[in-house]
A and B are shown apart, each in its own frame.
Chain A
Amino acid sequence: MGSMKVLVIIPVFNEEETLRGVILGIRVSLPDADILVVNDGSTDSTSNIARKEGVLVLEHPYNMGIGATMQTGFLYALRNGYDIAIQVDGDGQHYPDFLPSLIKPLLEGHCDLMIGSRYLSDGGFKSTLLRKLGIKFFSSLIWIFTGKRVTDPTSGFRAMDRKTLELFSVEYPPDYPEVEAIISAHKKGLHFQETPVAMRDRQGGASSIGFLSALYYMVKVTLSVSIGSFRRLK
């Protein structure tokens, strides 16, 4: 168990206000893990902050979206022999204190994909009403296509084992990947679970999702998942 190589991937796009705090928090709760910042074409000092902290840094030449950013991290994790990769957002929403409980079932081999759910815990920031509706919608969608209940399908606070990384490194949507990724993991026969985590409201920067893009998110995922059910996995 102690010999497992763990990589924490932080996808960042203009997170200069919060990134340092996130890195320091991860170092406290998972001192043995390596930290990889994947910079998705930030135009502020995000990249400098990451370098100053001495973490691993990969730079996209331009903005490619959260899905492509995570996938870059997955490829790095696979090629460098990591057993487990964790996604922690760079905006400070995810409390690093929950990292050990997020990866414990993976270290013990109980599941392949662990999703941190803010709806399984008391307290902490939940979400606005509109977002909650969106989340309900995605939960139902996942239930229809997998028969499983996921309380927080858009949560980006996740941990993956190598089997999941191998899937996600070839199959991961470039934009709004969270919901589709769960469904394709299920199709591949991977086991996913949720664990309670608390989240904060974002600490800085701007949310990546406005009203129109939320609508696009729902339409796109529904379309993609429906058509995807007629598609065989590679």
Chain B
Amino acid sequence: MLTCKDFLNELNAYLDQDLEESLRREIELHLSECPNCWVITDTTRKTIQVYKGNTPHTVPEGVHARLMAALEKRRTGKGPGGSSSAP
């Protein structure tokens, strides 16, 4: 019989669908009987989804151009480079 603590240790493998069939069934049985673990599973899954869905996928304007300018500067040895943005 799976305890809540056992379940918690397998939570990631369960969410990532990285479990053997027999253990997966045990976990699903536990989830059907334990509302707390069900809520933890549901809200952890939603936590991952909300980060995945709301992380900006673009870089601010000019980043590529400034990177290429810094690269050129470093390459031609015009300056020490440094980590600050090129003009």
Asked if A pairs with B, the answer is: no
